[in-house]
Amino acid sequence: MKLTLQEVRHVAALARLSLSPEEEERYRHQLSAILEAMELLKALDTKDVPPTSHAIAEDSVLREDVVVPSIEPAKALANAPDKVGTSFAVPKIIE
C-alpha cells in the first residue's frame, strides 16, 4: 500500500490541513507504512460479521423537551479569536 503524493494532498485538503512539502513527503511514507501494517485485517473473513460501533450500546437516549438555560452569549464568546456583537466573526466567505 503506497500512497501517492496526490492522495496525500487530497486527504490533507479533506482534513483542512495545509502541509509543507516536507510534511507531505513524511506523511506519505509514514501513512504508507501504517496502512501496510493494517493489511493484516484483509486476511480475516468478516463477510457475515456485523460491525460494532459502540461496545456497550445504550438505546436511543431521549430527554423531556424542556427549556433550560444555556451558556450566556458573553461567556460563550469569551474565547473567540474575533467577534462582532453577539456573533463569531470569520474572514470573508463570499467575494
Partner 1 sequence: MTPPVLNLSMLELAGALARREISSVEATHACLGRIEAVDPRVKAFLRIDAEGALAAAEASDNRRQSGALSALDGVPVAVKDLFLTEGVETTAGSKILAGFIPPYDATAVKLLKGAGLPILGKLNQDEFAMGSSTESSAFFPTHNPWDLSRTPGGSSGGSSAAVAAREIFGALGTDTGGSIRQPAALTNTVGLKPTYGRLSRYGVIAFASSLDQVGPITRSVLDAAALLQILAVHDPKDSTSSTAPVPNYMAEIEGGVSGMRLGVPREYFVPGMDPEVEHAVRQAASDLERMGAKLVDVSLPHTRYALAAYYLIAPAEASANLARYDGVRYGLRAQVAGGLREMYCRTRAAGFGPEVKRRIMLGTYALSAGYYDAYYLKAQKVRTLIREDFLRAFQKVDAIVSATSPVTAFKLGEKVDDPLAMYLMDVLTLPCNLAGLPGLSVPCGFGTGDLPIGLQILGRPFDESRILRIGRAFEREADFAGRAPPL
By CB under 8 A, is residue 38 in contact with partner 1? yes
E strand spans, the chain: 83-84, 87-88
Of the candidates 6, 22, 40, 65, which one interacts with partner 1 according to CB under 8 A?
40
Burial of 8 (0-12, 13-18, 19+ CB in 10 A): buried
**Interface with partner 1 (CB under 8 A):** 3, 7-8, 10-12, 14-19, 23, 27, 30-31, 33-35, 37-38, 40-42, 44, 46, 49-56, 58, 61, 63, 71, 75-76, 78-82, 88, 90-93, 95
